Structure 1
Amino acid sequence: MGATAGAVWGRAEQQDFRSRVRGTLLGAAVGDALGSPVADRSMEGIREAHGAQGLTDLAFGHGRRGAVSHLTQLTLFSMDGLIRAQVRRDTGAWHPPTDLHRAYLRWAATQRDWGPDERRKEDGWLAREEWLYARREPARACLVGLGDEMMGTLDAPKNPEERGPEAAVRSAPFGLLVGWEPQLVMQLAVECAAQTHGHPTAYLSAGAYAVVVHGLARGESLDAAVQRALQLLAARPGHQPVSDALQQALGAVRQGMPTPARVEDLAGGGSAEGLLSVAVYCALVGEDTRHGLCLSVNHGGDSAAAGALTGALLGSLHGETALPPSWLAELEGRPTMLVLADDFAMEMTQGPALHGPAGSSPGWLARYPRGYAALAGATPVPAG
């Protein structure tokens, strides 16, 4: 694919891109929904609850089958923030990390408020989706990092010791910026990860993951996408643990049949680079999408993050039709995700027709306003 900004997209290219965007978002969500009910359970505990094969189907979590966690919520706001950034580009005041930070603050409001405030038109449509106002065990790093208006940066990151996978999970949409050069995709993901996860292994894992998704969305093989990520990582201080984790994933492919023990070994202590390694490995060795997803969640670690990371890779690689339809049918929030994914694809392929010099769509600008909400005096999100 490799279209550049301002390029003319053919119909077949647009359809392929839309399928990969849908696949990335829905894949991340269905992996999250699959893994959430067994997150941090031991493999022995998973087998006791779900049989000798472990978890092979959606299970009850948060009161229903197919429920998603805060990982999916944040990923939706990543995609929303990227659309808003593109819309704001026309104004000349263009700084995508700020647009993403504002999007994440809108997510933080869903963890604090009872429901959407219809008076805040500048929040856009996603923040008015009532089902998102559910607190799904959000990571403390996300609540603390977004607990005030101060934006973390690489020079002054939030939570500088935080090595968790949450920032990497929400970075999948950055990889869908197929008109961007891979090094710019990595830079944006790294800068946005530092808003909540300030340890180099966490934000570099986010950057590497975005680059892998970027390669897949442009039609590359998974191996080629990982090699490009390794190439770009090599220039970054503190990259070695992340590079080693990716190399371990590639090496594990040649070590025989996949097992939960091998997945758990790659996951290590559940840090961002360990779960990135799990996702790459499971996407490479899975016989099909369903098998890859099940493999990614059957271990004694953060199954929700592992499932989400793996699902986005498989969805961007194969498109939405490769995802298990019976799981998609029960997926919480699927209608919202489809609208958001299609809006993202339309913005990236036809943005000038929606808000360019030749004219603009008032309806589009109402959905994705150019302005920022005034957040002064907002109550910090409690992290406890």
Structure 2
Amino acid sequence: MAQDGGDRAGYRARVRGCLLGGALGDALGAPVEFDTLGAIRAAHGPAGVRSHADPRALVTDDTQMTLWTVEGLLRARSRQAVRGGQLAPVPAVHDAYLRWYHTQHSGAPAGGYDGWLAGRDWLHARRAPGNTCLTALSEAARGHQARGEAAANASKGCGGVMRSAPFGLLPEHAATDEQVFTWAEQAAGLTHGHPTGRLASGATALLVRRLVAGDGLDAALDAALAALRTRPGHEETTKALLAARDAAADGEPGAEAVESLGAGWVAEEALAIAVYAALAHPAPDEFADALALAVTHSGDSDSTGAVCGNLLGARHGEAALPRTLADPVEGRDDLLALADDLVTAFTTEDPAAAPGWLDRYPQA
């Protein structure tokens, strides 16, 4: 499973870029999540949101749940390293989401958790978590939903899409494109039962996977669309992504084009807005322009910003993130430590043999 140093360095840069880019987009969009486009422009000017309203650059449940997705993947990898067999991430990710659910009710670490992530104070902050996620995980916590079982609701909210990027960070030797899509789809289905909520999440993960592998945005989008068309119920997500591509090819980028794609509260709209912004500003030195476009609208700005940041971070790597925006992001050091552990887990034969590894990431 080991990769050579050059491949590992490039992979690490993209993993770090994806996770930190998502947190940056989340923090940039969060303060304007419930503002109208007019109010955003009045406060930030016609160019939109280009700086943090709060110097602490606070993140939301979008980043929190994304990191718990990573933690679940790492525990699944620990199990595989110790016991052998195939990687089985979805039940482990479900357990991780339950750990996130408990942090949302504890206020601060109180002991009794295994692993290290639940001991981080900042991850216990309650930042307007989605009701669908809380309700579904409450059912699981009370034993009404089995480990790894799909939720019974019909929600297609964006709460699955905004946390799905980590599945795409699994390297090609660890999982196929088909597995990446399917696992992300299934993990979204733990809380969101509508086909669009699941399939848009699978498409998000596959986009990230192809970008990390070195594809350009258009090629990655082609791969996601091809995968979607093989799955029943894909039509809403496919239509939304094609509309995003058309909007990016038609005229100057702007908030009016963003709003023609929806508000981002539901899965396919959040993904479409993120893809549109990334296509409209695809170059490494346009990262801030893409994020400003992704969050400057009358909708779910933190989620659309987070997914856009995931995509461009995966495409360009950590070095493309504007330092003045990325450095203050809440939890940055923990986030990057988790990113580096993901790289270690999937570029070494037996990460569980490293001192302290199974204390940080017990077997799932």
User: Shorter-chain TM-score: which interval?
Assistant: over 0.9
SS in 2 for 1:330: coil
- Is contact 1:141–1:159 with CA below 8 Å preserved after alignment? no
The question of 1:162 aligning with 2:159 is answered: no
Q: How many angstroms apart in 2 are the aligned matches of 1:205 and 1:266?
A: 14
- Alignment partner, residue 24 of structure 1: 18
- Alignment partner, residue 235 of structure 2: 240
- Alignment partner, residue 375 of structure 1: none
Equivalent of 2:351 in 344, 350, 354: 354
The question of 1:103 aligning with 2:100 is answered: no
Is there any run of 5+ residues in structure 1 with no aligned partner, and where? Answer: 1-5, 372-384
The question of 1:254 aligning with 2:254 is answered: no
The question of 1:369 aligning with 2:362 is answered: yes
- Is contact 1:152–1:196 with CA below 8 Å preserved after alignment? no
**In the TM superposition, what is the alpha-carbon distance from 1:50 to its structure 2 partner?**
2.0
Equivalent of 1:138 in 117, 129, 150: 129
Q: How many angstroms apart in 2 are the aligned matches of 1:55 and 1:218?
A: 30
- Alignment partner, residue 37 of structure 2: 43
- Alignment partner, residue 124 of structure 1: 115
**In the TM superposition, what is the alpha-carbon distance from 1:199 to its structure 2 partner?**
0.7
Q: How many angstroms apart in 2 are the aligned matches of 1:269 and 1:283?
A: 15
- For residues 147-183 of structure 1, the C-alpha deviation after alignment (integer angstroms, 9 at most, x for no partner) is 1335868x96325221111111100000011221111
**In the TM superposition, what is the alpha-carbon distance from 1:370 to its structure 2 partner?**
1.3
The question of 1:56 aligning with 2:50 is answered: yes
- Alignment partner, residue 191 of structure 1: 186
The one-letter amino acid of 2:214's match is: G
**In the TM superposition, what is the alpha-carbon distance from 1:271 to its structure 2 partner?**
1.4
**In the TM superposition, what is the alpha-carbon distance from 1:295 to its structure 2 partner?**
0.5
Equivalent of 1:330 in 318, 328, 331: 328
Equivalent of 1:320 in 297, 318, 341: 318
- Is contact 1:173–1:210 with CA below 8 Å preserved after alignment? yes
Q: Percent identity?
A: 42
Please, what TM-score do these two structures have when normalized by structure 1? 0.89
Q: How many angstroms apart in 1 are the aligned matches of 2:220 and 2:57?
A: 30
Equivalent of 2:266 in 271, 278, 287: 271
**In the TM superposition, what is the alpha-carbon distance from 1:131 to its structure 2 partner?**
1.2
Q: How many angstroms apart in 2 are the aligned matches of 1:292 and 1:188?
A: 28
Please, what TM-score do these two structures have when normalized by structure 2? 0.93
Q: Greater CA deviation, 75-84 or 160-169?
A: 160-169
Is there any run of 5+ residues in structure 2 with no aligned partner, and where? Answer: none
The one-letter amino acid of 1:91's match is: R
Equivalent of 1:308 in 306, 309, 333: 306
Q: How many angstroms apart in 2 are the aligned matches of 1:269 and 1:172?
A: 17
**In the TM superposition, what is the alpha-carbon distance from 1:92 to its structure 2 partner?**
4.8
- Is contact 1:159–1:199 with CA below 8 Å preserved after alignment? no
- Alignment partner, residue 374 of structure 1: none
The one-letter amino acid of 2:325's match is: W
Equivalent of 1:9 in 3, 18, 28: 3
Q: Greater CA deviation, 288-297 or 267-276?
A: 267-276
How many residue pairs end up in the alignment? 355
**In the TM superposition, what is the alpha-carbon distance from 1:268 to its structure 2 partner?**
4.7
- Is contact 1:189–1:207 with CA below 8 Å preserved after alignment? yes
- For residues 332-383 of structure 1, the C-alpha deviation after alignment (integer angstroms, 9 at most, x for no partner) is 0001011000011111101x2423xxxx224111111115xxxxxxxxxxxx
Q: How many angstroms apart in 2 are the aligned matches of 1:129 and 1:151?
A: 29
- Alignment partner, residue 230 of structure 1: 225
